Amino acid sequence: MEQSSGRMYSAHFILLCLSNAVFSASYNMLIPELPAYLSSMGGEDYKGYILALFTLMAGLSRPFSGKLTDTVGRVPVMIFGSVICVVCSLLYPLVSSVGAFLLLRFFHGFSTGFKPTGTTAYVSDLVPYNRRAEAMGMVGLFSTIGLALGPAIGGFIAARWDIYVMFQVSAVFALSSVVILIGGLKETLPNRQRFKPALLKISRHEIFEPLVLGPVIVTFLTFLSYGALLTVIPDFSQHLGIHNKGLFFTFFTAASIGVRLLAGKVSDRYGRVPVLKISAAMMALSLFMLAVATTPYVMMAAAIIYGVSVGLNSPAVTAWTVDLGLPEHRGRALASMYIAMEAGIGLGAYLSAFIYHNRAAYFPATFAVMGIAALLATVYLMLIYDNRRLKIMWRLVHMKAHLRRWR
């Protein structure tokens, strides 16, 4: 269902955006309340596993979601991811031990391992290729709205009633996503196959798509900092005397939302790589600002610049991945990019915790290291990816990848 021209805002596209928003709100509304819920079971020493296990399963499931997206279809993969959210939200109140909670949290990661892969492939099938990044920006905008509203909704419900009601509301949001997908979306994959267990067998060639190495490298280097910020910013906010530990992310999210749609249009007009160069450079600047920040004002200015950089980065790198991948292996290409994203977030969280080590004196070093990683993405795009000789070598890699598929 590849389109070269036509309108972007079809009924299917609008419904997909709505599905994305309620899905994002569903699992994000749990995040602020789960640490206290785990502590009530006696698992206060395992709070770090809440995000780690979720992200780990999301990454491990990507090769499977990529293959199934390319064989069974985009819509079934999206439905499966949303159904996992429904089931896990309903099961959280039933677990009574730390081990059972962590196991459930691990399997909850299936949801984000599947839904975004199917969603992005569906969007790339649906919209005109010359508006691809704009479409990615719009879908990402709705996800970010869910990310912003979910925790606020969850916190309000938990405070007004209790956490068990919040779990039920989370399940309702995820179920709404399922209903939209089943009732409103038509499959875009031609010649789709029936699901069979043999499709779950993954060869090493199906884990990673070499044609999208460029986007993978940029995604990994730029998302290292996101994992670090999720880990360190709450303590850094307290260090600067900011009582609202989520204020940084409020400014970051607002800036990201504000720039996403425009960023997609700019990427479609001027190209993916030029936009990514600017976004990576801005990201490095924001992180170096955090490294020298001594006042809340500098921190919030850095949050805005970081939000703009992410708003520029996400639509462009996703569209770039789709551009480089083969249409018949679009799910695999996107899964490769998402694996890099989750690896970056996970490693960034680990490295930042290791460098910071709960000592305020190490905040500057933590942010500086992440700034260097973003700067490396800029250097890669400017000096390596744009190098003509290396481009010729990379075309040979592409040719080998094609030949390997025909063997």
Task: With cut-offs at 50, 70 and 90, classify the pLDDT of residue 406.
Answer: very low
User: What's the first-to-final CA gap in the chain, in angstroms?
Assistant: 28
Whether the predicted pLDDT of 318 surpasses 80: yes
Distances (CA, A) of 374 to 78, 217, 324, 384: 31, 11, 22, 15
**Are 243 and 392 part of one and the same domain?**
yes
Q: Are residues 287 and 360 in the same domain?
A: yes
pLDDT averaged over every residue in the chain = 88
Whether residue 217 sits in one domain with residue 183: no
* Residue ending a domain, choose from 161, 187, 213: 187
Give me the mean pLDDT over the 147-160 stretch.
86
Q: What SS3 string covers 216-246?
A: HHHHHHHHHHHHHHHHHHHHHHHHCCCCCCC
Assigned domain for 3 exists? no
Q: What DSSP line would sit under 100-138, residue for residue?
A: HHHHHHHHHTHHHHHHHHHHHHHHHHHSBGGGHHHHHHH
* pLDDT bracket for residue 198 (50, 70, 90): confident
Integer Cα distance of 16 and 13 in angstroms:
5
> Which pLDDT belongs to residue 357?
83
Q: Residue 82: is its pLDDT beyond 90?
A: yes
Q: In this structure, are 287 and 176 located in the same domain?
A: no
pLDDT band, very low/low/confident/very high, at 395 (cuts 50, 70, 90): low
Q: What is the mean pLDDT of residues 179-183?
A: 94
Would you state the pLDDT for residue 258?
85
Measured distance CA(354)–CA(183) in Å, rounded: 47
Pick the range with the lowest mean pLDDT from 42-56, 85-99, 115-129, 171-185: 42-56
Does residue 391 sit within a domain?
yes
Listed in sequence order, the residues at least 6 apart from 362 whose beta carbon sits closer than 8 Å to its beta carbon are 355, 356
Whether 2 has a pLDDT exceeding 60, the answer reads: no
Q: Is residue 199 in a domain?
A: no
Mark whether 237 and 369 lie in a shared domain: yes
Domain range for residue 64?
10-187
Residue 3 three-state SS:
strand
Arithmetic mean of pLDDT, 349-372: 91
Instruction: Give the pLDDT confidence score for residue 257 in this predicted structure.
Output: 86
Mean pLDDT of 115-134: 89
SS3 content of the chain, % helix, strand, coil (to 5): 85, 0, 15
* Same-domain status, 372 and 403: yes
At 284 the pLDDT is 97
Same-domain status, 351 and 390? yes
Confidence band, pLDDT 50/70/90 cuts, at residue 285 = very high
Would you say residue 193 lies in a domain?
no
CATH assignment at residue 94: 1.20.1250.20
Residue 137 in any domain: the answer is yes
- Say whether pLDDT at 399 is over 60: no
Whether the CB-CB separation of 287 and 367 falls below 8 Å is answered with yes
Q: Compute CA distances 1 → 67, 121, 190, 323, 327, whole Å.
A: 18, 11, 8, 15, 10
Q: Note the pLDDT of residue 4.
A: 45
Confidence (pTM):
0.82
Average pLDDT over residues 159-169: 92
Task: Give percent of the chain with pLDDT exceeding 70.
Answer: 93
* Residue 389 predicted with pLDDT over 70: no
